[in-house]
A = this chain, B = another copy of it.
Amino acid sequence: MTQAHPIAELWRGGQVESIHAGHAVICDGAGQVVETWGDPSAVIFPRSSCKMVQALPLIESGAAAAAGLSDRQLALACASHQGAAIHTGMVTTWLADLGLRDDDLRCGAHMPNDTGARDALICSHTAPCQMHNNCSGKHSGFLTLNRHLKAGPDYVEIDHPVQRAVKAAFEEVTGETSQGYGIDGCSAPNFTTTVTGLARAMAAFAAASEGDARGRAMVRLRTAMASHPELVAGEGRACTELMRAMGGRVAIKTGAEGVFVAILPEQRLGMAVKIADGTPRAAELAIAALLVRAGVLERDHPATRKRLDAVQTNWRGFETGALKAAPGFPG
């Protein structure tokens, strides 16, 4: 197997302190590999980076139209959100529209990452609910599809019609038979693919046109994401800040354990990155570097500089080093 390629280096005091390696693939609209770093055939869990794929059956089944879902709701279905009021408020309404409640979710509860929402819960001695889970938008989408399919309540089971539909869509857009699956943090199955398969899926989203049902679903999802960056993650987060910096031209999405993907419709390109050690700072650097190189992200934009050549400061605000692209990787 090809080695992981050096991607990011943390510098301190004029020398490298830590290093991250990984795999990256760029595919074109025909599903052909354009460029690779590391091992393009490395089998990975896309984790939350494939939420737009998991949302395809929601639209293609007619469930989204039947429920009258807005583009904002579809963006939230593709989100790993912060649990800020803007996110949990939408989930609350969405569930109510379905005649459902928090207990019908199967994602589990965790403290929101949004500082204001978290502090409000702490100071009112209130436990977080499942709506605060960063995946609650995706799960609201699953519940919407589930109502349409009239299937049972345990929609995250591997053999449930919702997950069977997700798996079928996933294998079609990656162009691969998935070798297996794991259980994600939100209890949903997460199917494996190669880095190339994930990049190919993103390229399919990038090259999609409205000529058929899948193309229409892909265009709608990528547009919803790129048009509502604040819903896809939250303030301060890479997905939100970088999509804003690109002005709606590109959709990007992070996944746990160092995954990042990008959909570039104008260039008809799809990108996928997996950091072998799972570290987000390196995945953010990698996707920013590839987006700069593709000409869709400004090198000197503050959102870029926060991830690429990111200055590291200490508790007194002194510069201690920087996170830089590794030799041989764009940046």
Residue A241 is within 8 A (CB to CB) of chain B in the complex: no
For the complex, give the distance between the alpha carbons of A117 and B13 in Å: 33
For the complex, give the distance between the alpha carbons of A190 and B278 in Å: 27
Q: Which of B12, B119, B279, B317 contacts A279 (CB 8 A)?
A: B279
Which chain A residues in 282-325 approach chain B with CB under 8 Å? 282, 314-318, 320-321
Which chain A residues in 168-192 approach chain B with CB under 8 Å? 179-187, 190, 192
Residue A17 is within 8 A (CB to CB) of chain B in the complex: yes
**Nearest CB in chain B: distance from A132 CB, A:** 10
Residue A276 is within 8 A (CB to CB) of chain B in the complex: yes
Q: Which of B19, B186, B315, B321 contacts A314 (CB 8 A)?
A: B186
**Nearest CB in chain B: distance from A128 CB, A:** 10
Number of copies: 2
Residue A106 is within 8 A (CB to CB) of chain B in the complex: yes
Given A20-B277, A182-B321, A185-B320, the answer on whether A192 and B314 have CB atoms closer than 8 Å is no
The size class of the interface chain A forms with chain B is 35 or more
Chain B residues near A180 (CB-CB < 8 A): 13-15
For the complex, give the distance between the alpha carbons of A63 and B18 in Å: 36
B183 touches A13 (CB 8 A): yes
B18 touches A187 (CB 8 A): no
A279: nearest chain-B partner, CB-CB: B277
A118: nearest chain-B partner, CB-CB: B122
Chain B residues near A184 (CB-CB < 8 A): 314, 320
Q: Which of B107, B186, B192, B320 contacts A183 (CB 8 A)?
A: B320
Which chain A residues in 1-37 approach chain B with CB under 8 Å? 10, 12-15, 17-21
For the complex, give the distance between the alpha carbons of A192 and B15 in Å: 10
In this complex, the member of A18, A107, A119, A186 whose beta carbon has the largest number of chain B beta carbons within 10 angstroms is A18
A187 touches B257 (CB 8 A): no
B318 touches A258 (CB 8 A): no
B185 touches A314 (CB 8 A): yes
User: Which A residues are within 8 Å of any B CB, using their own CB?
Assistant: 10, 12-15, 17-21, 43-45, 106-110, 119, 122-123, 133, 179-187, 190, 192, 257-258, 275-279, 282, 314-318, 320-321
Q: Lowest 9 A-B CB distances belong to which pairs?
A: A108-B315, A13-B182, A18-B278, A12-B182, A108-B316, A277-B277, A123-B123, A183-B320, A185-B314
